[in-house]
Amino acid sequence: MFPLPPGSTIGILGGGQLGRMLAQAASRLGFDVAILDPEADCPAGRVAAHVITTAYDDPEGLAALARLSDVVSFEFENVPAAALERLAAAGAQTAPGPRALAVAQDRVDEKTFLNGAGVATVAFAAADGPESAIEAVGRIGAPALMKTRRDGYDGKGQRWVEHVAAAAAAFEALGGKPVIVEAPAAFVRELSVIAARGRDGGIAVYPLAENHHEGGVLRRTLAPAEVTPKIAAQAERIAAQILAGLDYVGVIGVELFELADGRLLVNEIAPRVHNTGHWTMDGCEVDQFEQHIRAVAGWPLGPTHALARVEMTNLLGEEALAWAKLAAEPEARLHLYGKRDAKPGRKMGHVNRLRPLR
Ligand code: AMP
């Protein structure tokens, strides 16, 4: 069945901007795309051949997606486990597979997997009640960062615990749900690496990106990041260990902390295309979206070296209203997601500003 020939259909669970850019890349290679999203007017649906408007765990919607698609992929990791089981029962091939999603959905499972695969993280402890939260903070030491094990994104669902005495209150404030307690990472920079693994087990790794967040949300990415060859080699090794350890197919985003001594720790993995990889759309011959489509379709992976230095800036909320000014900037490549409603903080688009490689 693989490689899928042009004319095949790629199913995607989720119809946000990542699904939209995946659909655009897929269509360039001659594929049709089927999007499943609960919202009728979603960004990806408007550029796709087929749109299924149901909940993510709707049995009929998933059966329809399985019927239409030669392979099903995802634009987010918090896909209900029931949805994956239904897709599998309907005979759909999914890429990445259920294990990668399960690992990425739970911060404790994720760090346990990473350490088992020989990849370093901060020290951590799990807790599922106020008593064990106190014990976990005692073990890790305060200050510590407490995060919900599941469903966190963009810095939501986490808080600093300054003293052991504050552990139980922090646990309750996070909703009384199972948490992870993390040691602080004394990072000098936040980096990320986007990598892909094909169906033949081959791996392709993009240059590192340097990321700047504001209020937990990615603001800017600079890529390729200026790093020593040792750090670049370390990132490649980390990506390869993760991809092989998950028997992964597709693109993955790996968020990293760079420590003062030059060591890299993994913060988290995203089993999908990633906001810190948007620079590749204008900085590389084959961007992360096409790379993902190539991987899941069983095509050869494309080149990953940079053709330019890129500063990627997210356009949040009303910032996207400046589209005419941005479009007039000669070195700026504008990407808008077609979202109708510019709610404050919402990711509406991004702009890649190019400079020559030094
Ligand atoms: P996350 O939701 O895990 O991606 O965390 C969001 C942001 O919080 C990261 O980009 C870091 O800036 C910060 N952060 C997360 N974990 C830690 C940690 N263990 N130590 C210090 N800062 C952290």
Q: What tens digit of pLDDT does each residue of 203-219 get? A: 999 999 999 999 889 99
Q: Is 49 exposed, middle or buried (0-12, 13-18, 19+ CB in 10 A)?
A: middle
Q: Is 109 exposed, middle or buried (0-12, 13-18, 19+ CB in 10 A)?
A: middle
Tokens, residue 24: 């655009």
In this prediction, residue 343 carries a pLDDT of 94
Query: What CATH architecture does domain 123-182 belong to?
Result: 2-Layer Sandwich (3.30)
In this prediction, residue 196 carries a pLDDT of 98
Residue 296 has pLDDT above 80, yes or no: yes
Domain with CATH 3.40.50.20 in the chain: 9-94
Q: How far is the CA of 267 from the centre of ligand 1 (A)?
A: 7
Q: How far is the CA of 93 from the centre of ligand 1 (A)?
A: 33
Band (pLDDT 50/70/90 cuts) for residue 345 is very high
Least Cα distance to 101 among 122, 125, 80 occurs for: 80
Determine whether the shortest distance from the Cβ of 216 to ligand 1 is under 6 A. Answer: yes
- Nearest residue (by CA) to ligand 1, atom 8, is 155
Q: How far is the CA of 190 from the centre of ligand 1 (A)?
A: 9
How many residues does this entry show for the chain?
358
Domain 187-355 top-level CATH class? alpha beta
Determine whether the shortest distance from the Cβ of 268 to ligand 1 is under 6 A. Answer: yes
Domain with CATH 3.30.1490.20 in the chain: 123-182
Query: Could you tell me what percent of the chain has a pLDDT over 90?
Result: 95
Q: Which of 149, 156, 267 to mutate to test the pocket of ligand 1 (most atoms within 8 A of CB)?
A: 267
Phi, psi of 350 (to 5 degrees): -150, 160
Tokens, residue 116: 């088992």
Question: How much is the pTM?
Answer: 0.97
Q: How far is the CA of 215 from the centre of ligand 1 (A)?
A: 11
* Stretch 168-183: mean pLDDT: 97
Tokens, residue 231: 């750090």
Determine whether the shortest distance from the Cβ of 155 to ligand 1 is under 6 A. Answer: yes
Per-residue burial over 294-309, b if 16 or more Cβ lie within 10 Å, else e, is bbbbbbebeebebebb
Element of type H or E holding 19: helix 17-28
Q: How far is the CA of 292 from the centre of ligand 1 (A)?
A: 26
9-94 is classed CATH 1.10.275.10:
no
- Nearest residue (by CA) to ligand 1, atom 16, is 267
Determine whether the shortest distance from the Cβ of 267 to ligand 1 is under 6 A. Answer: yes
Do 225 and 240 form a contact (C-beta atoms < 8 A)?
A: no
Residue 39 has pLDDT above 80, yes or no: yes
Element of type H or E holding 81: helix 81-89
Determine whether the shortest distance from the Cβ of 213 to ligand 1 is under 6 A. Answer: yes
Among 153-167, 185-199, 232-246, 247-261, the minimum mean pLDDT is found in 153-167
Beta strands at 209-214 and 187-197: parallel, antiparallel or unpaired: antiparallel
In this prediction, residue 328 carries a pLDDT of 98
Residue 152 has pLDDT above 80, yes or no: no
> What is the rounded radius of gyration, in angstroms, for the C-alpha atoms of the chain?
20
Determine whether the shortest distance from the Cβ of 176 to ligand 1 is under 6 A. Answer: no
Q: Is 271 exposed, middle or buried (0-12, 13-18, 19+ CB in 10 A)?
A: buried
Among 12-26, 50-64, 76-90, 256-270, the minimum mean pLDDT is found in 76-90
Q: How far is the CA of 182 from the centre of ligand 1 (A)?
A: 9
Contacts of 7 (CB under 8 A, 6+ apart): 30, 31, 32
In this prediction, residue 333 carries a pLDDT of 98
In the predicted model, what is the mean pLDDT of the chain? 96
| Ligand 1 atom nearest residue 157's Cα | 2
In this prediction, residue 274 carries a pLDDT of 98
Contacts of 277 (CB under 8 A, 6+ apart): 192, 194, 206, 209, 251, 253, 287, 288
In this prediction, residue 81 carries a pLDDT of 85
CA 62 vs CA 1, 20, 38, 204: distances in Å: 21, 19, 12, 31
DSSP 283-344: HBSS-HHHHHHHHHTTPPPPP--BSSEEEEEEEEGGGGGGHHHHHH-TTEEEEE---S---T
Band (pLDDT 50/70/90 cuts) for residue 27 is very high
Band (pLDDT 50/70/90 cuts) for residue 153 is confident
In this prediction, residue 244 carries a pLDDT of 97
Domain with CATH 3.30.470.20 in the chain: 187-355
Residue 223 has pLDDT above 80, yes or no: yes
